[in-house]
Amino acid sequence: MSRGPPALYTGTMRRPPSSSDDAVPKRRARPVTPEWLFRAAAHYLGRYASSAENLRRVLQRKTARRVAEAEEGEAPGPDECRAMIEATLMRFHELKLLDDDAFAAARLSSLRRGGASLRKIEAKLSEKGVDRETIAKTLEADESTDRTAAFAHARRRRLGPHRLRDRAERRERDIAAMMRAGFGLGDARAAIDAEPGADPEDEG
C-alpha cells in the first residue's frame, strides 16, 4: 500500500531568538533621598515598634539595596547615606515617634505577659539595639516578678502542672527547660511543682 506525500506544515515558522530578544531591560535604579528614607521609616514604624538602633539597621539595609541597584556614580556615598539616615532618625525623635525608653517599657510588659524571665527580656532588648543604661533602668522599674513570670511560662509551654500525663517522669526535664528560659532554680521548681491553679506568690 503506497503512502501519499507528507503533509506540509503551514504554520508560522518561529525564528531562533536573538541576543537582543533575550536582553531584559534593566530597571531604573531608585534614588536614595531624605524623602524616601522618611517614608520608609514611617512605613516600618507603622507596622512595628522599634528602638532607634533597630530602625537604623533597617534603613541601612534598605539603603544598601538601593545603592547596589544603582549605576556607578549615581548613588550617594557611604558618608552621605549615613548622614541622611541619622537625620531621619532625628526627625522621628523630634516627632516623639521614636523613644527607646517607651519601647523598652512596652516590650518588657509584653514579654512579661508571655512569661519571659528578666534574663530573657534583657537579651531581647539588647538584640533590638537598646543600650545597657536604658535596659538597666527599664528592668529596675519593673514591678513584676520572675516567680509570676515562671508560672506564666509553665502554663504557656504546658510544663509541670499543665501536663496532661507523665508529669512526675518529666519533672527534671521541665525544670531544666525553665532554667534554659532564664529562670532561677527556685522559681523553676516552684512553677513545676505547683498545683494547678496555684497562686505564684503563695508558693515559697
Question: Which burial class, exposed, middle or buried, applies to 183 when counting CB atoms under 10 A from its CB (0-12, 13-18, 19+)?
Answer: buried
Q: Express each pLDDT in 147-198 by its tens digit.
A: 999 999 999 999 999 999 999 999 999 999 999 999 999 999 999 999 988 8
Question: Which burial class, exposed, middle or buried, applies to 190 when counting CB atoms under 10 A from its CB (0-12, 13-18, 19+)?
Answer: buried
Sequence-ordered list of residues with C-beta below 8 angstroms from that of 182, at least 6 positions apart, any chain? 116, 117, 118, 119, 120, 123
Give the per-residue pLDDT at 14.
56
Q: Which residue has the cell 505547683?
A: 194
Mean pLDDT of the chain: 88
Give the per-residue pLDDT at 97.
96
Give 10-37 as a DSSP string.
-SPPPPPPPHHHHPPPPPPPPP--HHHH
Stated pTM of the model: 0.78
Q: Express each pLDDT in 108-141 by its tens digit.
A: 999 999 999 999 999 999 999 999 999 999 999 9
Give the per-residue pLDDT at 198.
83
